[in-house]
Structure 1
Amino acid sequence: MSENTNESRTWHKWPRSIALLSLLVVVPLAGCGDASKTDSDTDQKGQAKSEEKADEKAASKEDLEEEFGDVETPESELTDITEEVTVMKVEDGDTIVVNGENGEETITLALADAPELTLPDGSQDENFGMKARDYSRSMLEGATLLFERSDSKDEDGNATGYIWMKNGVDHVNFNKGLIEKGLARLAETSDAKYTDEFREAESQAKAEKKDIWSIDGYVTADGYNSSLVQ
């Protein structure tokens, strides 16, 4: 009887041992499952943040149309005449530093003459000069865009050309946008490719007395009369 009792006790211990072993196996597996899920959640969150940052950087079609009107120039018309550049720095309203096919270089926006940020006496133009600079900085700095290089150079020997803001298959000419908003005047040069449409944009800004056109005599044939806004 004593023998049977011992056997019975031994028999009943096995299920408990098996249960304990099962728990030891299941718990680590469950932990791996949670870790895997955590890693997956982290990756998804990281991807979402990256996409969110990209969305913040790229202007939407609605944003561009709000700034510049209808966006209608397809990329197919620009492929052969533009290069991709990243805007490293905006020095003033119409002068930027880009990194592209020729490395890092300073370029001047063709046909668009914005008020200088630094005046002849060395002081800062805290009116239209700063406003033009701040606008160009908010729209361009850090962005990767299309640059249509002109054959002409500015008086300092820098390259000139047109910046096309990219949005899917549509684009807008930023140089023209500066003129439309009254932050630059039309600069007559030998490069007359877009002169007619830029002149029309200037006439509209002038008629509506936008920014540089809001003060009589501020815009002159040679540039700007900064004494009127100091």
Structure 2
Amino acid sequence: MGRIILYIIVIAFIIAVITKFFYLLVAGALGYWAYKQFKKSQTKGSKQTLTYVLGAFAGVFLILFVVSLSSDTANKTEPIAVVDTKEDSSSNSETKSNTADVIETSQSSDSKGKQTQGNQNNHNRFPATLVEVTDGDTLKVTVEGKEEKVRLLLIDTPESVHPEKEEQPFAKDASNFVKKQVAKGNMELELDVSERDKYGRLLAYVWIDNKMLNEQLLEYGLARVAYIYPPNTKYVDQFEEIQKQARVQAKGIWSIENYVQDSGFVELKPAIEEPVVVTQAPSVEKNNEVKNEPIVTNVYYKNCDAVRAAGADPIYEGEPGYSRKLDRDGDGIGCER
């Protein structure tokens, strides 16, 4: 029994050698045959034609052996394509650690890539649930059961709830736009390198159904590019390009001349329109007595800012200065807060 096993091992070894070195063995056999033929022909003084043919075939098989050997070496040294689980695990660890004071994130990718919405790498995103829209650039969310304040990165919208400032133009528009967008689908947060500001708020790019809210606010002229603090500059180039287009088209905040400055939004003092005074022509009564009718004064307000500055808000239908353009919903009450 032991001898049979030994024979099997020897045969297997021979087969392995033949398989691995087949071309080399054939080349060696042909080379040896060519050598013997050379000696034989030399002794007889005959032509060496067969010797040359055998030598050529031996060379061909030798080349084939070298090629196969090189191919095997290349296959061994070629790196194996593996799915990079490091990034995935990093993403998972982000989600799990959202309840901690600091959320771990992967390094941001180069913003020069100009990744389009819908094709963004979402490994750095994690789900969040909306609690409240504070204003156009600030939200309250819950992440893994913990409530967090979120500040949208790289943008600034007009103030609507500032304790020391009055509501600025387009502030409510920005806030309402955000409320409308976040109601459309699932929310995800994407952090950059630095995760929080000095107030402890999360700094994030907010995604709703694979569309970035930061970009949409810029696109519709409801925000400006601002607060660019390295290393949180992942999307700054494309943000500035979007802002440029909105400014050219005079959308939203860009429709008011000099409203947007590098320092922020300029406080505009509403202009109160001078009342238009219309005096009726004197009427002539009997006995040729001339009597002036009472002066009728028409008040005109350019916009609701002018109404508020005059202390006339809300303004009701029938009151001096009321017009339908001040009453967008047509309920008879204009310039409602």
TM-score (norm 2): 0.42
Instruction: Provide the C-alpha distance between the structure 2 equivalents of 1:160 and 1:72, rounded to a whole number of angstroms.
Output: 19
- Identify the match of residue 154 of structure 2 among 108, 111, 115: 111
1:194-227, CA deviations, whole angstroms, 9 ceiling, x for partnerless residues?
Answer: 0110000000000001010011111011110132
1:149-164 matches, within 5 Å, as 149-150=191-192, 151-164=194-207
Pairing 1:197–2:271 present: no
Which residue does the alignment assign to 1:148? Answer: 190
CA distance, structure 1, for counterparts of residue 117 and residue 154 of structure 2: 20
Superposed counterparts of 1:95-106, under 5 Å: 95-101=138-144, 103-106=146-149
Question: Deviations for 1:117-145, whole angstroms, at most 9, x for unmatched residues?
Answer: 134645333x3111111111111158531
- 1:134 alignment counterpart: 176
> Which amino acid in structure 2 is aligned with residue 196 of structure 1?
D
Q: Is contact 1:87–1:142 with CA below 8 Å preserved after alignment?
A: no
> Matched residues, percent identical?
30
Encode CA deviations 1:83-142: one digit per residue, 9 max, x unaligned: 0011111000000001113711100000111111134645333x3111111111111158
- Say whether residues 1:176 and 2:215 are aligned partners: yes
**SS of 2:166's equivalent?**
coil
Is the 2:185–2:208 contact (alpha carbons within 8 Å) kept by the matching residues of 1?
A: no
Mapping for residues 33-72 of structure 1, pairs under 5 Å? 72=117
Q: Could you tell me whether the CA contact under 8 Å between 2:159 and 2:165 is conserved in 1? A: no
Classify the secondary structure of the residue corresponding to 1:226: coil
1:173 deviates by 1.2
1:123 is paired with a residue of what secondary structure? coil
Aligned residues: 153
Could you say which residue in structure 2 is the equivalent of 1:215?
256
Deviation at 1:186, TM superposition (A): 0.4
Tell which structure's C-alpha radius of gyration is larger: 2
Asked whether the equivalents of residues 221 and 251 of structure 2 are also in contact (C-alpha less than 8 Å), the reply is yes
Distance 2:188 2:250 in 1: 30
AA aligned to 1:139 is: Q
Deviations 1:166-194 (A, max 9, x none): 1xxxx211101101110000012221100
1:82 pairs with 2:136 = no
Q: Distance in 1 between matches of 2:219 and 2:172?
A: 17
Q: Is the Cα contact below 8 Å between 2:152 and 2:206 reproduced in 1?
A: yes
The answer for unaligned runs of 5 or more in structure 2 is 1-115, 271-304, 306-337
1:165 alignment counterpart: 208
Bigger proportion of residues as strand: 1
| Offset of residue 228 of structure 1 | 4.9
Unaligned runs of 5+ in 1: 1-70
Verify the 8 A CA contact 2:135 2:175 in the aligned structure 1. Answer: yes
Residue 90 of structure 1 contacts residue 141 of structure 1 at CA under 8 Å; is this kept in 2? no
Q: Aligned to 1:227, what secondary structure does the other structure show?
A: coil
Q: CA deviation at 1:155?
A: 4.3
Distance 2:221 2:186 in 1: 25
Over the aligned positions, Cα root-mean-square deviation in angstroms equals: 2.1
Counterpart of 1:57?
none
SS of residue matched to 2:268: helix
Distance 1:153 1:72, change over 3 A: closer
